[in-house]
Amino acid sequence: QQQVKQSPQSLIVQKGGIPIINCAYENTAFDYFPWYQQFPGKGPALLIAIRPDVSEKKEGRFTISFNKSAKQFSLHIMDSQPGDSATYFCAASLGGGTYKYIFGTGTRLKVLA
Amino acid sequence: DTGVSQDPRHKITKRGQNVTFRCDPISEHNRLYWYRQTLGQGPEFLTYFQNEAQLEKSRLLSDRFSAERPKGSFSTLEIQRTEQGDSAMYLCASSTGTSGNTIYFGEGSWLTVV
């Protein structure tokens, strides 16, 4: 119940394409869903986050779509660039004071020039 | 630089030795977290402090691991009698608790046990 399942494991797209990364969860007590971007040898950096009372959120080229009934959420990267090549992690937080995150297993994205 | 700072960034140690990592959180962040990340996996929660109090510990944190946060500022994570399975990146993160659940990660401390 505490898991967050992420797919695909890896993804290759052409420059300008729209990669989509999906995550699913079971625990309906999760109340905050961030996405992190991580480059090799670096710590994860927050990209964008959403709460379950919102179905979509956009920040620049990054969009989160959230389907509360299906317990799924996804990250879309518009007009992807080679500089977006990184590993992306979804996460879910239980809130309630701890705010610890349960992370997905990551998606390694490569954007071809 | 006002981000989360971790030291050392890389540590190679022999099996059985003790190692200690330090984390300096973002100024005025009262919450501090330690996570562990192995290659090809997402970060896994280890422990969490609110100010100087350690409020939660994961089952991943065996007896050989100890974390402290004296005075509610910087934190240390010590691993005693290191094993090869301890090789990972140890990530520190911090938050205010009022920033909408957002936690900010440091660059991590890589541990290699040989």
What gap in Å lies between CA B29 and CA B114, rounded to an integer?
35
Q: Residues of A with CB below 8 A from B105's CB?
A: 36, 43-45
Q: Is the pLDDT of residue A2 over 80?
A: no
The answer to whether A32 contacts chain B (CB < 8 Å) is yes
Q: Please tell me what DSSP assigns to residue A52.
A: T
Q: Is the pLDDT of residue B67 over 90?
A: yes
Q: Given this model, what pLDDT does residue B74 score?
A: 96
Extract the tokens encoding B32. 């501090």
Q: Given this model, what pLDDT does residue A73 score?
A: 97
- Minimal-distance CA residue of chain B relative to A45: B105
- The lowest-confidence range among A7-11, A93-97, B55-59 is A93-97
Q: Given this model, what pLDDT does residue A98 score?
A: 63
What gap in Å lies between CA B96 and CA B30, rounded to an integer?
5
Name the band, by pLDDT with cuts 50, 70 and 90, for residue B110. very high
Q: Given this model, what pLDDT does residue B99 score?
A: 57
Cβ atoms of B103 and B51 closer than 8 Å: no
Phi, psi of A67 (to 5 degrees): -120, 100
The answer to whether A43 contacts chain B (CB < 8 Å) is yes
Q: Is the pLDDT of residue A12 over 90?
A: yes
- Given A42, A93, A103, which is nearest B42 (Cβ)? A103
Q: Given this model, what pLDDT does residue A97 score?
A: 61
Q: Given this model, what pLDDT does residue A1 score?
A: 62
Mutate to test the interface with B, among A100, A102, A105 (most CBs of B within 10 A): A100
Q: Is the pLDDT of residue B96 over 90?
A: no
Virtual CA dihedral for B15, B108, A104, A12, nearest 10 degrees? -110
Q: Which residue has the higher pLDDT, B87 or A2?
A: B87
Phi, psi of B72 (to 5 degrees): 65, 20
A88-101 burial string, b = 16+ CB within 10 Å, else e?
bbbbbbbeeebbbb
Q: Given this model, what pLDDT does residue B53 score?
A: 93
Q: Given this model, what pLDDT does residue B2 score?
A: 75
Q: How many CB pairs under 8 A join A and B?
A: 57
Cβ atoms of A95 and A31 closer than 8 Å: yes
pLDDT in tens, A31-81: 889 999 999 989 999 999 998 899 999 999 999 999 999 999 999 999 999
